[in-house]
DNA sequence: ACCCCGTTTATTTTT
DNA sequence: TAAACGGGGT
């Protein structure tokens, strides 16, 4: 135990050893957040305050959950299987599997990912003959997910106009369709569990009594439903240990509510708020920059990072004339870092949006520097894998129409759109699944469809006693998927991926503790279930959704859940010592010796949409804060006067965030206010855009040019983005950054040129 | 049933 | 720019 608490600083120690009450830990970047979280669990167990089964730890990502588990198993000399550590969705899945009857779901319900959900909505709109211009599927999806995230069912929503009434109506129809198919979307996993526990008192009390300690990671990212879910599970007596950082809240756009931190303090009567402000990651100048920047946010719980490390290197700032030049500068700097002995994987290039990676990738490629881009397609998202998964889904639950449609004619079986429309009509009339409708389709389409259904049924029958990997193999062979991709010109990779799926299945069953030979379709045995049965005080029998998974679902169901909930690694040239390219969002939680934050321009970072959204600029500032605090020793900031965006050259001014950083921490590598690109090479930029010539001719008479930086007494500094008209009629679009884009008459407006 | 070509649209993303 | 989608033609 001494060992356990040994190297903690006073605040960390205080947090780890708090009494069993709800507490809020404000954990700054690099302050040892995960360490506190895991040590807290280990300490509770070692001091005998709780048994592993009494611990519930919730994270947002599978990665974070795995990290916690591996740290815990290093800390504790025991099997940590009894602990519930997982993502909100993973834990809900487990609960719903164990209590599927109470939750009114089929035992083999399946999970729709975002793609599946959208295609299902499209299908529904089409079937109802609804104009998808007027009711865009995407909007409906956001509406549905937003409602679910707020805990609302269709009947709970008051629509004030015709348009919204329609949305509500469609939401209701969508839910009914999901129910018929036995599928749930991501938000549904949470909402269904919430409803299950709130309606079923014995069940709720059972879990409330079990989980005396609930620990939550990244609390600032919780949405309203997750917050209420925690509140429900915590009941009145349990201790919720919430760890988060309001300054790193960057997911409001997907429903995260930072306000949950303040609400938590109030509603869970938090006696102990501990701030972890000692930073173990970054050098002084870097932290100064982060602190100074974030102080510009008004809505904060308040926190200031400090370090024992010295100032370190100043933050280098570079102003490029073009995105291309910016990229080349990154390469030059990286080369010298590498020459000084830095390893490539310790250098990260961050950007606001994915599109920005192109130029940088191109430059890195030309320079022959290995790199890795985060955020590509992941294993279970690949088309061929999704097809294979769809076959498996049909074996497990033939009523999953999304899966049915995905593969009914893939590989081609002569079942075209026409036949499928007919089938869908029959299914709608009979209010049944496509699978069940097949028997009622006459003629040749009927025969072909029947053959398809028979194919699925045969694989199911043939593999009923086989293990999961064996089943996957048979499915691949019998479905014709492998044959199909073998005959395709560029199918070799896909065949290889499909073979990897067998390996993935094999790895999965051994990791999750299913016996090697357990039949893929074998559900929990009656005795196993009986062994888990608990009779509560009211005489109600409850089966606890306890680990391992083997007790609540079949290997196949478990594997399919896994495929939906854990999309797998985004493919990477792993092993190589490569530079790391990613969005700022993707960088959250990571750290690097050297970090480049690129594209620091008005309109991009902060993004132009940030100005419009409520609290958008503060969120953008937090994003910048996250970016800065990724760096350990070296930080580079860059922006460019011009940038190619959507096939057009955009003229930008530097981000307002530069004005919010401490001057003494920065070292400007290029002159701050000096010649712009057009001064030295006036022709180059528009040589290939003849259309702009007339405007330029007229504007040059007046002395104005696109790209010119100007000063307006009211709007401040801006850049001329476009000039239209000529002579006495010349007007210019000027980007004044924080003050927006203005269209000004050049003959009237009082503008000063900034050199 | 499939392919081609024009149109449209472009933050951030985990589950 | 470029990728994804949908309509229409073969």
User: Does the C-beta of A254 come within 7 A of strand B?
Assistant: yes
Summarize the confidence of residues A425-445 as an average pLDDT: 88
A32 has binding-site annotation: yes
pLDDT at A543 over 90: no
Query: Which DSSP string do the residues of A560-595 spell out, in sequence order?
Result: HHHHHH---PBP--TTS--EEEEEHHHHTT--EEEE
A667 has binding-site annotation: no
* Nucleotide nearest the Cα atom of A645 (by C1'): C1
**DSSP-based three-state secondary structure for A185:** coil
CA-to-CA distance for A129 and A145, rounded, in angstroms? Answer: 22
pLDDT at A308 over 60: yes
**DSSP-based three-state secondary structure for A24:** strand
A29 has binding-site annotation: yes
Among A192, A187, A205, A207, residue whose Cα is nearest residue A84? A207
Tell me which protein residue sits closest to nucleotide B12, measuring alpha carbon to C1': A585
Choosing from A12, A193, A226, A248, the catalytic residue is A248
* Nucleotide nearest the Cα atom of A358 (by C1'): C1
H/E segment holding residue A632? strand A631-645
Residue A183: beta bridge partners? Answer: A110
Place of tokens 């593969």: A407
What protein residues sit with their CB closer than 7 Å to strand C? A 122, 358, 644, 646-647
Spacing of A355 CA from C4 C1' in Å: 15
Spacing of A619 CA from B13 C1' in Å: 15
Q: What is the dihedral of CA A499, A505, A510, A516, to 10 degrees?
A: -90
**A212-224 confidence digits (pLDDT tens):** 999 999 999 999 9
The confidence score (pLDDT) of residue A463 equals 93
**A265-284 confidence digits (pLDDT tens):** 999 999 999 999 999 999 99
Between residue 41 and residue 100 of chain A, the positions with Cβ below 7 Å from nucleic chain B are 60-63, 87, 89-90
Q: Please state the φ and ψ torsions of residue A548, each to the nearest 5 degrees.
A: -80, 170
* Nucleotide nearest the Cα atom of A409 (by C1'): B1
Spacing of A34 CA from C10 C1' in Å: 61
Give A720's Cβ-side CA count (13 Å radius): 29
Spacing of A121 CA from C4 C1' in Å: 18
User: Does the C-beta of A354 come within 7 A of strand B?
Assistant: yes
**A565-586 confidence digits (pLDDT tens):** 988 776 555 567 899 999 999 9
**DSSP-based three-state secondary structure for A372:** strand
Q: Are strands A592-597 and A347-351 parallel, antiparallel or unpaired?
A: parallel
Query: Would residue A180 show up in a list of annotated catalytic residues for this protein?
Result: no
**A450-504 confidence digits (pLDDT tens):** 999 999 999 999 999 999 999 999 999 999 899 888 887 677 888 888 999 999 9
The confidence score (pLDDT) of residue A698 equals 39
A28 has binding-site annotation: yes
Angle at A706 between CA A705 and CA A707, to 5 degrees: 105
CA-to-CA distance for A57 and A217, rounded, in angstroms? Answer: 8
Query: Would residue A17 show up in a list of annotated catalytic residues for this protein?
Result: no
pLDDT at A255 over 60: yes
Spacing of A425 CA from C7 C1' in Å: 23
Query: Which DSSP string do the residues of A432-484 spell out, in sequence order?
Result: --HHHHGGG--HHHHHHHHHHHHHHHHHHHHHTTSBHHHHHHHHHHHHTHHHH
**A676-691 confidence digits (pLDDT tens):** 444 333 333 333 333 3
Average pLDDT, chain A: 87
Percentage of residues in chain A having pLDDT higher than 70: 88
Angle at A609 between CA A607 and CA A613, to 5 degrees: 125
**A158-210 confidence digits (pLDDT tens):** 988 888 899 999 999 999 999 999 999 999 999 999 999 999 999 999 999 99
Record the tokens describing residue A57, joined without a space.
Answer: 């730890």
Choosing from A11, A149, A181, A218, the catalytic residue is A218
User: Does the C-beta of A218 come within 7 A of strand B?
Assistant: no
């Amino acid at each position: 135990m001494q060992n356990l608490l040994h190297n903690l600083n006073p605040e960390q120690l205080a947090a780890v050893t708090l009494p069993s009450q709800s507490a809020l830990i404000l954990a700054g970047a690099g302050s040892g957040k995960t360490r506190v979280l895991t040590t807290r669990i280990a300490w509770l167990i070692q001091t005998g305050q709780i048994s592993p089964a009494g611990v519930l730890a919730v994270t947002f990502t599978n990665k974070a959950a795995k990290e916690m588990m591996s740290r815990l198993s290093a800390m504790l000399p025991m099997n940590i299987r009894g602990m519930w550590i997982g993502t909100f969705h993973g834990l809900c899945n487990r609960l719903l599997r164990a209590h599927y009857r109470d939750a009114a779901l089929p035992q083999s319900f399946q999970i729709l990912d975002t793609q599946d959900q959208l295609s299902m909505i499209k299908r529904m709109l089409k079937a109802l003959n609804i104009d998808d211009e007027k009711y865009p599927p995407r909007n409906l999806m956001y509406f549905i997910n937003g409602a679910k995230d707020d805990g609302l069912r269709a009947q709970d929503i008051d629509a004030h106009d015709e348009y919204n009434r329609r949305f509500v109506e469609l939401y209701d129809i969508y839910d009914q369709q999901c129910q018929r198919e036995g599928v749930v979307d991501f938000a549904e996993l949470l909402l269904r569990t919430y409803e299950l526990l709130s309606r079923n008192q014995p069940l709720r009390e059972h879990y409330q009594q079990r989980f005396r300690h609930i620990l939550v990671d990244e609390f600032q990212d919780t949405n309203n439903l997750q917050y209420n879910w925690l509140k429900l599970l915590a009941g009145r007596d349990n201790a919720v240990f919430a760890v988060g950082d309001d300054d790193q809240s960057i997911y409001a756009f997907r429903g995260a509510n930072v306000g949950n931190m303040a609400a938590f303090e109030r509603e869970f009567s938090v006696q102990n708020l501990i701030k972890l402000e000692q930073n173990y990651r970054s050098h002084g100048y870097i932290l100064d920059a982060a602190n100074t920047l974030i102080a510009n946010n008004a809505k904060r719980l308040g926190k200031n990072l400090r370090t024992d490390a010295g100032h370190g290197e100043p933050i280098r700032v570079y102003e490029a004339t073009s995105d291309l030049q910016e990229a080349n500068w990154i390469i030059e700097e990286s080369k010298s870092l590498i020459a000084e002995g830095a390893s490539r994987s310790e250098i990260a290039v961050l950007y606001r949006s994915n599109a920005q990676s192109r130029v940088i990738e191109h430059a890195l490629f030309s320079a022959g520097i290995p790199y890795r881009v985060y955020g590509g397609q992941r294993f279970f998202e690949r088309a061929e894998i999704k097809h294979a998964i769809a076959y498996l889904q049909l074996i497990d639950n033939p009523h999953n129409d999304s899966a049915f449609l995905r593969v009914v004619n893939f590989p081609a079986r002569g079942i075209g759109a026409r036949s499928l429309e007919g089938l869908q009509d029959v299914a709608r009339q009979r209010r049944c699944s496509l699978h069940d409708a097949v028997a009622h389709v006459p003629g040749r389409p009927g025969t072909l469809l029947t053959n398809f259904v028979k194919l699925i049924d045969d694989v199911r029958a043939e593999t009923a006693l086989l293990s999961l990997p064996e089943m996957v193999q048979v499915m691949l062979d019998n479905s014709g998927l492998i044959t199909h991709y073998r005959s395709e010109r560029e199918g070799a990779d896909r065949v290889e991926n499909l073979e990897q799926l067998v390996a993935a299945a094999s790895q999965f069953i051994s990791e999750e503790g299913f016996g090697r030979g357990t039949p893929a379709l074998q559900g929990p045995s009656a005795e196993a279930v009986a062994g888990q049965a608990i009779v509560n005080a009211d005489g109600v029998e409850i089966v606890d959704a306890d680990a391992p998974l083997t007790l609540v679902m079949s290997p196949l169901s478990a594997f399919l859940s896994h495929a939906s909930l854990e999309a797998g690694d985004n493919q990477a040239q792993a092993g190589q010592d490569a530079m790391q390219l990613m969005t700022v969002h993707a960088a959250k939680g990571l750290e690097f010796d050297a970090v480049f934050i690129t594209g620091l321009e008005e309109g991009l970072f902060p993004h132009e949409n940030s100005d419009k959204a409520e609290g958008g600029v503060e969120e953008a500032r937090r994003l910048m804060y996250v970016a800065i605090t990724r760096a350990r020793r070296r930080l580079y900031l860059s922006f460019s006067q011009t940038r190619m965006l959507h096939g057009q050259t955009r003229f930008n001014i530097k981000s307002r965030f530069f004005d919010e950083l401490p001057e003494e921490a920065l070292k400007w590598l290029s002159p701050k206010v000096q010649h712009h690109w057009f001064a030295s090479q006036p022709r180059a930029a528009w040589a290939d855009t003849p259309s702009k010539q007339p405007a330029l001719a007229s504007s040059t008479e007046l002395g104005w040019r696109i790209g010119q930086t100007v000063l307006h007494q009211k709007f401040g500094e801006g850049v001329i983005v476009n000039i239209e008209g000529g002579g006495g009629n010349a007007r210019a679009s000027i980007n004044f950054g924080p003050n927006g884009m203005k269209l000004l008459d050049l003959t009237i407006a009082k503008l000063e040129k900034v050199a």
